[in-house]
Amino acid sequence: MVKTVSPDAISVIMANPSPDSSSSDYPDIVVQVLDLKLTGNSRFRFVANDGKMKLDGMFPSSLSNEVNSGNIQNLGLIRILDYTLNDIPLKNKKYLIVTKCEVVSPPLEAEIVDVVKSEETGILLKPKQDVEVNNVQGLGIVLKPKQEMFAKSAAQIVHEQTGNMAPSARMAMTRRVHPLVSLNPYQGNWTIKVRLTNKGNMRNYKNARGEGCVFNVELTDEDGTQIQATMFNEAAKKFYDRFQLGKAYYISKGTLRVANKQFKTVPNDYEMTLNENSVVEEAIDEGTFIPETKFNFVPIDQLGPYVNNSELVDVIGVVQSVSPTMSIRRKSNNETIPKRDITIADESKKTVVVSLWNDLATTVGQDLLDIADQSPIVALKSLKVGDFQGVSLSALSRTVIVVNPETPESRKLKSWYDSEGKDSSMASVGTGLSPSSKSGGRSMYTDRVSVSYITSNPSLGEDKPVFFSTKGYISFIKPDQSMWYRACKTCNKKVTEAIGSGFWCEGCQKNDDSCNLRYIMVAKVADASGEALLSFFNDQAENVIGCSADELDKLRSQDGDGSTYQMKLKEATWVPHLFRVSVVPQEYNNEKRQRITVRTVAPVDYAAESRFLLEEITKMKASQ
């Protein structure tokens, strides 16, 4: 009996991703099975071959007995009676799921590598004989030469791969597990195997529908794909203690929906909901299953649009400096927690400060401090973007830090830094922040108010700091104020003169021969509506005055009558700026007053400013 593969079988499958197997015009599809292998969950992967094309495929657990018994073997032929073609968009590929088939032929002598139609016999294969790599006359087939090997049965494959496994591990292989990337809201039953990579706290809520509780987890499969799962009320109470950080689980009977972009914390278009009927089982003896951490890096110079946004970011950079551990006291509970700042840079020649808290500050932070002189590469996942010093990053409980990762981005960054980056001049990403939408302009053009709006509302910021943008002019800088302080070269905290010589830093607990001067000044800012006193820190003051505090101090000490020093301050006045400010009330001498602090300063982009004004005029006309 002549054994055949169907002409263009793979093309037929690709053209009919979900055929009706009961239909009378269901095509005859015969393919050769190649690279049959066990995936570890009682599923067998293979490659379907029709001689011209190949397609990755999978036998589900319902066909595992056929494979284990040896009926379906490597290099054999099968007729596909029912199948589904899954589209995996993130990997840009398709996957054949064979749900029903029958065996046409035992293993052939070789892999079919080309097929030519014969007028009489169609597609033919002569099994079990030696052939050369030539077109066999009369057969219309090209075969690879015979190799010194034999086709193993699936039973042998299973025995080789599972013979040494523990019984619990072999039991785990009876499940059919779906990769997270293949899930969508329209699927029926599915089971996933994931590791719990982040667990939120149980939260109580109250709304129009009543009261309840909720908590979220972040799950990662072995391919590194992540998804967020949410549990409410009874499900939350049922699974909160069962989910343990770092453990692996089999999960089924959940539902998926399109993720709310405002609240999602992982890069997935869908989010999962588990109810009290969902099944969550711990995957025993899965210690070797470690999800790959996937990053979606944002260049440092493009962090502006994420400022004070709920969306978290991933960054990669070369470590420029690492501060010692500092103790920060929380206002909420007066608890003291450790903090450490690291400064990183990337190919945009911009730097940003990343604040590490709690264990990250004392573990990974200490490791980075020990190797800071080697300029290590550090990749950080899930950081919050704030507006301290224009743009800053802060680690969270879910933040992942990888030092010197083996990734193409890391190697590229290291090569750039070694060749030119270490000799380049770096600038803070928050300095001179451009008002364009790509580098933080949203912060400059949202919440635009006049100076008088702030000063006429003394209750602003009573619960928490509020932020506004305003356009104004520095009208006056008092020349005889204390415009700077002596700062530690390592952590920028205030230092005092040490006994004998040098300067003592309480934060670093060390003595240094010298120190830096850093601005901390007050200036009067005015616009058409009024004026107010604004506090400026170092980076913002440097941007306004045009020189560092050390340079201005040197100028004042060399200037006998002080005229040059005062002229330098006068040059900084009556220049228009865009300010991003925070407002909080404070008490001074039993008198409540506002503290308005400049967070970011940028020059006026007149084209962008004109567009903003035109939009405001249009809004005013529309409201009339």
Q: Is residue 149 part of a domain?
A: no
Contact 128, 115 (CB under 8 A): no
Q: Averaged over 165-170, what is the pLDDT?
A: 44
Q: Is residue 199 part of a domain?
A: yes
Assess whether 524 and 499 both reside in one domain.
Answer: no
Assess whether 466 and 562 both reside in one domain.
Answer: yes
Q: Is residue 619 part of a domain?
A: no
β-pair partners for 212: 205
The domain boundary residue, chosen from 62, 84, 105 = 105
- Alpha carbon of 86 to those of 23, 57, 79, 96, 98: distances in Å? 21, 10, 19, 6, 11
Q: What does the alpha-carbon distance between residue 340 and residue 327 come to, in Å, rounded to a whole number?
A: 9
Q: Averaged over 508-522, what is the pLDDT?
A: 89
Contact 319, 414 (CB under 8 A): no
Q: Residue 546: give its domain's CATH number.
A: 2.40.50.140
Q: What does the alpha-carbon distance between residue 94 and residue 8 come to, in Å, rounded to a whole number?
A: 17
Assess whether 602 and 573 both reside in one domain.
Answer: yes
Q: Tens digit of pLDDT for each residue in 102-137?
A: 999 888 888 887 644 444 444 444 444 443 444 444
| pTM, to two decimals | 0.46
Rounded to the nearest integer, the mean pLDDT of the chain is 81
Assess whether 531 and 606 both reside in one domain.
Answer: yes
Assess whether 367 and 263 both reside in one domain.
Answer: no
Assess whether 470 and 593 both reside in one domain.
Answer: yes
Contacts 24+ apart (CB under 8 A), 565-569: 565/479, 566/479, 569/477, 569/479, 569/545
Residue 495's closest CA among 508, 478, 482, 479? 508
Distance between alpha carbon 419 and the CA centroid of its chain, in Å? 28
Q: Tens digit of pLDDT for each residue in 176-216?
A: 788 888 888 887 788 999 988 888 878 888 888 889 999 98
Question: What pLDDT is attached to residue 131?
Answer: 39
Q: Averaged over 437-446, what is the pLDDT?
A: 50
The domain boundary residue, chosen from 361, 394, 428 = 428
Assess whether 504 and 524 both reside in one domain.
Answer: no
Q: Is residue 132 part of a domain?
A: no
Q: Tens digit of pLDDT for each residue in 484-508?
A: 999 988 778 889 988 778 898 887 7
> Which helix (H) or strand (E) element contains residue 313?
strand 313-322
Q: Is residue 386 part of a domain?
A: yes
Q: Is residue 433 part of a domain?
A: no
- Judging by DSSP bridges, how do beta strands 141-143 and 191-199 pair with one another? unpaired
Assess whether 335 and 199 both reside in one domain.
Answer: no
> What stretches of 369-501 adopt beta strand conformation (E)?
377-386, 392-403, 427-428, 466-477, 484-487, 495-497
Assess whether 210 and 328 both reside in one domain.
Answer: no
Higher pLDDT, residue 89 or 515 = 515
Q: Is residue 162 part of a domain?
A: no
Domain of residue 22: give its range. 9-105
Q: Tens digit of pLDDT for each residue in 342-397?
A: 999 999 988 999 999 988 898 899 999 999 889 999 999 889 998 777 688 999 87
Assess whether 373 and 476 both reside in one domain.
Answer: no
Assess whether 549 and 502 both reside in one domain.
Answer: no
Is a pLDDT exceeding 60 seen at residue 24? yes
366: which residues sit within 8 A by CB, 6+ positions away? 325, 340
Phi, psi of 361 (to 5 degrees): -70, -35
Q: What does the alpha-carbon distance between residue 149 and residue 352 come to, in Å, rounded to a whole number?
A: 58
Q: Is residue 136 part of a domain?
A: no
The count of domains in the chain is 5
For the chain, what is the radius of gyration of the CA atoms? Answer: 33
Q: What is the largest CA-CA distance in the chain?
A: 111
Assess whether 273 and 394 both reside in one domain.
Answer: no
Question: What pLDDT is attached to residue 292?
Answer: 61
Q: What does the alpha-carbon distance between residue 193 and residue 132 come to, in Å, rounded to a whole number?
A: 46
Which DSSP string do the residues of 44-84 spell out, in sequence order? EEEEEE-SS-EEEEEE-GGGHHHHHTTSS-TT-EEEEEEEE
Q: How many residues would you count in the chain?
A: 624
Q: Tens digit of pLDDT for each residue in 63-94?
A: 888 888 888 988 899 999 988 887 765 556 78
The domain boundary residue, chosen from 72, 105, 138 = 105
Question: What pLDDT is attached to residue 130?
Answer: 42
